[in-house]
Chain A
Amino acid sequence: MKRLISILLLAALALGLLAACSDEEPTPEPTQAPANVQVQAGEAGGLPADLLAVANERGLTPQDIRAALKTYVPSGKMDEYYLFSSGGQSGNVVVIGVPSMRILKNIAVFTPEAWQGYGYGDIGTEEVLDGGNVDDTKIRMGDTHHPALSETNGDYDGQFLFINDKASARVAVIDLRDFETKQIVKDPNLISNHGSSFVPPNTEYVIQTSQYATPLGWEYAPISEYKEKYRGLATMYKFDREKGRIDMDNSFSIELPPYWQDLCDAGKLGSDGWAFCNSFNSEMATGGIEQGNPPFEAGVSQRDTDYMHIFNWKKAAEIAEQPGKTEVINGMRVIRIPTAVEEGILFLAPEPKSPHGVDVTPDGKYLTVAGKLDPHVTIYSFDKIQKAIADKKWTTDEFGIPVLNFDDVMLAQVELGLGPLHTQYDDKGNGYTSLFLDSAVAKWTLGGEDPAGYKLVEKLPVQYNIGHISSAEGGTVSPDGKYLVALNKWPVDRFLPTCPLKPQNEQLPDIGSDQMNIIYDMPMGIGEPHYAQMIKADKIKAWETYPEVGWDPITQSPSEFKTMPGQERIERDGNNVEIFMTSIRSHLTPEHVTLNKGDNVTWHITNIETAPDATHGFDLGGQNLSLSIEPGETATFKFVANNDGTYAYYCTEFCSALHLEMMGYMMVAPAAAQ
């Protein structure tokens, strides 16, 4: 009987064990340093007791304190660098100070933005946006990807910023004197771009390459005619630095095979005159998952290699001027593939399949191709490429384009980890490559001519899913090192929840020390950055106010509608009414505007202030309108007074103590009263 009891006890124990055995996972530990690490006086380098108390109360580790000291910019002091970050599908460019990672400005580019008064009022900034219309469709969004600062002798000169819109193959010009978008141009033959914008060392051109191949001019052709009709393009937008505008009449394109060109970079120093672009669909896959075909993601990843496109844009520019060498398609001169081959403009070199970024080293001698699907970066030598071209050692692809031998042009490969995407450089001969899958930044050494000198040094985890990286002056012939910004796609657990659409995480690794450290996490809640470029702050010469009162920021010249005090008036010609208004703290002149229903109204406002910061905004009830009229600016808007009634207009910017009084009435009389 005793035994029976013990057996029963055993069974009970088993059941008890079952009840106690939880199948639930323990809550995951936070990935950050535990908060209970107390900072000791010695560790913090003799911090005063009150500061030590603050650190311990906030749970800060010595590492946190170091990061705070490296990034905090006190009131009244300035950041060292500007970071110009694309805003992705927000269509904007976000300007950030480094190392504080404070947002300085959100520059409206492809998308209307009311605070800046960008894209309202039918003319002015809306005409800039209209420059990017596609056929008769007004496009009021953009997918900004890759900002490019203008360069002089391979260094950022701080004058202009170019940025592409991937969605509709457009490029915008931003003037860095007033941080405003001045021009949007539409490629007449492409509907999507990606390898854009990038500039050669003296910004003779703004270069753009296609992403998804379409028939030129995106005209209709069934997908079954992919190989015959679908094409890519490299478009060389001529940049007129004097005018600060792209000169479409002197721009041209080079036809490319439909290989889905990806990112590009321009040569510099010895490789100036050349440009390099990756591609990821040399398979020429045409998708059609719904018809049982391999989806694009599988179809474009079949071959072990794709092609780096190598083109001599300087030679192409000469050829484009010669008669008979180009074909004008939708108003754009295009060098067709056979001409490009014949003239020695276009070459291909195999690269591990579906890579992402290609980045020329600061000395211009090497190109780093990041594997994306391959765990390596592959380094090509420009000299080897030139030798292979000179020796005419190549096979050809099915379009007759010379394909150089991989072994002839490749110099080294470094295994970095999973998902290498983009590479930046510092001033000490290191490369930094973002690893998307590993969520890390890999630091590796450039070995010059010695393949064994290319070595992985260190990997820094970042949070999380890093896309691009940007080092201080990283795209120039003389990078600064010091800071690197990791543009991460997923914040996961880094910020207070604003789910389900979360901000992106722009992280700041410190690369100035021997070991990389993350010293700041910045939530980017106004866009999805792709690439960003970082420029030394003192290179930007931004205006405090416009150079003179009555300035037209669109043309960056004095406005013909400039209105000075005493010149305010309302002119009527039939039912066309033109208003010349001034604004100054704290009144708008005139304060009464009387109109008739159906009037066509053109309204100019000159902000006659000359004091910095004295911006006046302008809103008019019942109209889809918002203006920002900065000191000295003359702004114009148009509308038709379709509805009679009494409306208030006022200054939207809290400009003075009597800001609320800065208003006026617009009275639109009905037809009967006229």
Chain B
Amino acid sequence: MSSEIEKVLGPRVPPDEFKAHRARYMIPTLLFVAAAILLVISIPRPWWRLKLVAPQYPAGLSVTAYINQMTGDIAEIDGLNHYIGMRPLGEAAEFERTISVFGIIAVSMLILAAAFVHNRWAALLALPALFLPLIFVLDLQFWLANFGMNLDPTAALSSSVDPFIPPVLWTGNIAQFSTVPRLLSGFWLAMWSSGLIAVGLFFHRRAYKPLVDKQSHARE
């Protein structure tokens, strides 16, 4: 039975070996746990903000993205956007926002699970968390492009404002507005999480690779 488990989850660490090199086996586990904690902490924190600055809005208007909601001057921005025929912001990434909390918890669980998997499958389990910030940015850019490129051609200002793609990471310009984006703590937590996972995977491999090699030798 135990050999069946070891086939799937990789070799277990013999107690003597663990006692002898406690740090070697604890480091990846602790890193993964820390990464999972950071991800969970990021859930209620803002990830990204877009600030819109125009002459008549010297203090700017802003929309702040959390993984499951958007806050800020949404009504005012939607009000302005209707002149150029952009859909209401509430229609963006509805699916993503619905699943995101469970999704991040699930991704965190996978990292924790990775700590118990001692073969190469651990990397696969950690992969979603590792690429989460990238996925976030790409998805956001997808929606910005989707909204900016699908303007209602019958909108009042359609002869003045052509379809456009607001950049996620740097400043853009649309009509009299500049769009100034900023990545916020939720995103940076996820980045730290990714970093810890990457380092964790390195230590994970260093700790368990010899055991995995030994296991396969034994099979042969």
Name A's B-contacting residues (CB within 8 A). 1-4, 7-8, 10-11, 14, 17-18, 21, 23, 25, 28, 31, 294, 297-298, 301-302, 304, 352-354, 371, 373-375, 417-419, 437-440, 461, 463-465, 490, 492-493
Interface contacts beyond A2-B23, A18-B188, A25-B51: sample of 16 additional A-B pairs, CB < 8 Å, sorted by A:
A7-B34, A11-B196, A14-B192, A18-B38, A18-B41, A18-B192, A23-B184, A28-B60, A298-B154, A298-B155, A301-B154, A301-B156, A418-B176, A438-B176, A439-B55, A490-B56
A14 to B192, CA, bound (A): 7
Give the chain B neighbours of A492 by CB distance below 8 A: 56-58
Return B71 CB to nearest CB of chain A, in Å.
Answer: 11
Known: A4-B30, A23-B45, A298-B154. A461 touches B160 (CB 8 A): no
Q: Which B residue sits closest to A415, measured CB to CB?
A: B160
Given the contacts A17-B192, A298-B156, A492-B58, A439 and B176 also touching, CB distance less than 8 Å: yes
Whether B62 pairs with A3 at a CB distance below 8 angstroms is: no
B1 interface residue (CB < 8 Å to A): no
> A-facing mask of B171-209, CB < 8 A → 1, else 0?
000011000000011001100100010000000000000
> In this assembly, does B63 line the interface, its C-beta being within 8 Å of a C-beta of chain A?
no
The residue of chain A having its C-beta at the shortest distance from the C-beta of B45 within the complex is A23
Instruction: Give the B interface residue count (CB, 8 A).
Output: 37
Interface string of B58-96 (1 = CB under 8 A from A): 111010100000000000000000000000000000000
- Measured CB to CB, the closest approach of chain B to A382, in angstroms, equals 25
Q: Is B26 positioned at the interface, with any CB of A under 8 Å from its CB?
A: yes
CB-CB under 8 A from B51, the residues of chain A are 25
How close is B35's CB to chain A, nearest CB, in angstroms? 9
Q: Which residues of A contact B175 (CB under 8 A)?
A: 418, 437
Are B49 and A23 interface neighbours, CB within 8 A? yes
- Pairwise interchain contact A18-B55, C-beta atoms closer than 8 A: no
Taking CB atoms, residues of chain B closer than 8 Å to A371 are 159-160
* Chain A residues within an 8 Å CB radius of B62: 25
Taking the closest CB of chain B, its distance from the CB of A406, in whole angstroms, is 14
Query: Inside 8 A of A25's CB, which chain B residues have their CB?
Result: 49, 51, 60, 62
Could you tell me if B34 and A301 are in contact, using CB atoms closer than 8 angstroms? no
Of listed A7, A298, A463, A490, residue having the most chain B CB within 10 A: A7
Which residue of A3, A11, A23 is within 8 Å of B23 (Cβ)? A3
A572 to B64, CA, bound (A): 78
| Distance of B44 from chain A, by nearest CB (Å) | 11
CB neighbours (8 Å) of B154 from chain A are 294, 298, 301-302
Which B residues are CB-close (under 8 A) to A2? Answer: 23
Q: How distant is the Cα of A21 from the Cα of B157 in the complex, in angstroms?
A: 39
Are A1 and B56 in contact, with the CB atoms below 8 A?
no
- Once the chains bind, are B156 and A439 in contact (CB under 8 Å)? no
Which 7 pairs, one residue from A and one from B, show the smallest C-beta to C-beta distance? A439-B55, A464-B56, A11-B34, A301-B156, A14-B192, A23-B184, A28-B59
With contact pairs A7-B31, A11-B196, A439-B56 given, residues A373 and B188 touching in the complex (Cβ less than 8 Å): no
Least Cβ distance of A548 to chain B in Å? 53
Nearest to B31 among chain A residues (CB) is A7
- Closest chain B residue to A464, Cβ basis: B56
In the assembly, what is the distance between CA of A81 and CA of B51, in Å? 43
Give Cα A21 to B23, complex, Å. Answer: 31
| Residues of chain B with a CB closer than 8 A to A353's CB | 159
Contact string, B33-51, partner A, CB cutoff 8 A, digits 1/0?
0100010010001100101
Between A and B, 17 residue pairs with Cβ closer than 8 Å are A2-B23, A4-B23, A4-B26, A11-B30, A23-B46, A23-B185, A25-B62, A28-B59, A294-B154, A298-B156, A301-B154, A301-B155, A301-B158, A373-B157, A373-B160, A437-B175, A492-B58
B27 within 8 A of A: yes
Smallest distance from the beta carbon of A155 to chain B beta carbons, Å?
35
Cα(A373)–Cα(B188), bound, Å: 41
Q: How distant is the Cα of A294 from the Cα of B85 in the complex, in angstroms?
A: 13
B16–chain A nearest beta-carbon distance, Å: 18
Selected from B30, B176, B189, the residue in CB contact (under 8 A) with A437 is B176
Give Cα distance in the complex from A373 to B159, angstroms. Answer: 7
